[in-house]
């Protein structure tokens, strides 16, 4: 996944509630919440991702229409070395193209600059709060289902 955007949340209260659960539940609950948040963000990214509309050039190594958009995905990472996290964006196969579209580039053949579309930054701005809300709701629901009382701010 292309790196670029990080968001850190104060989840101490939820961490304390999770810590009271058996380890196998902690990981599953955290993973489900991060997946839910990731899907919110990847949906926004797919909606804003430009889709190629021109005719492909014969012999070109350019992506076919819709390939970048369909490649966007989420990946939850759980490790003892760092806090659980979700990465949203293109896989390594299309990350370089996403970077060019996001940031712009100089087209040497046409001798012009192509402005960036900022679809990843736009998706982050558009969906970040909703993703946080979905993640917190998922955590609170899972904790309530296990018998732990958790209050979330509305």
pLDDT of res. 71: 95
Between the alpha carbon of residue 66 and those of residues 47, 56, 92, 149, the distances in Å are 11, 12, 16, 44
Does 153 fall in a domain?
no
Each residue of 18-58: pLDDT tens digit?
Answer: 677 777 777 888 899 999 999 999 999 999 999 887 776 67
Report the distance separating Cα 18 and Cα 26, nearest Å.
6
Does 19 fall in a domain?
yes
Instruction: Please state the domain count of the chain.
Output: 1
Q: How confident is the model at residue 145 (pLDDT cuts 50, 70, 90)?
A: confident
Runs of H (alpha helix) within the chain: 12-19, 23-48, 67-71, 92-103, 119-145
Bridge partners for 89 per DSSP: 73
Tokens of 60: 């070109």
Does 20 fall in a domain?
yes
Does 132 fall in a domain?
yes
Does 99 fall in a domain?
yes
Q: Which residue has the higher pLDDT, 124 or 110?
A: 124
Q: Which of the given ranges, 2-11, 42-51, 55-64, 129-138, has the highest pLDDT on average?
A: 42-51
- Residue 152 DSSP one-character state: -
Does 151 fall in a domain?
no
pTM of the model: 0.76
Mean pLDDT on 135-147: 81
Does 49 fall in a domain?
yes
């Amino acid at each position: 996944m292309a790196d670029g955007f990080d968001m850190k949340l104060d989840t101490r209260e939820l961490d304390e509630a999770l810590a009271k659960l058996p380890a196998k539940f902690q990981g599953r609950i955290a993973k489900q919440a991060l997946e839910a948040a990731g899907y919110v963000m990847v949906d926004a990214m797919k909606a804003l991702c430009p889709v190629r509309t021109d005719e492909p050039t014969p012999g070109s190594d350019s992506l076919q229409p819709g390939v970048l958009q369909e490649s966007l995905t989420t990946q939850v990472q759980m490790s003892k070395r760092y806090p659980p996290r979700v990465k949203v964006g293109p896989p390594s196969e299309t990350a370089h193209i996403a970077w060019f579209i996001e940031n712009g580039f100089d087209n040497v053949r046409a001798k012009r600059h192509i402005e960036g579309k900022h679809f990843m930054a736009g998706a982050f701005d558009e969906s970040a709060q909703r993703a946080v809300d979905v993640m917190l709701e998922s955590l609170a629901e899972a904790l309530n289902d296990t018998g732990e009382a958790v209050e979330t701010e509305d």
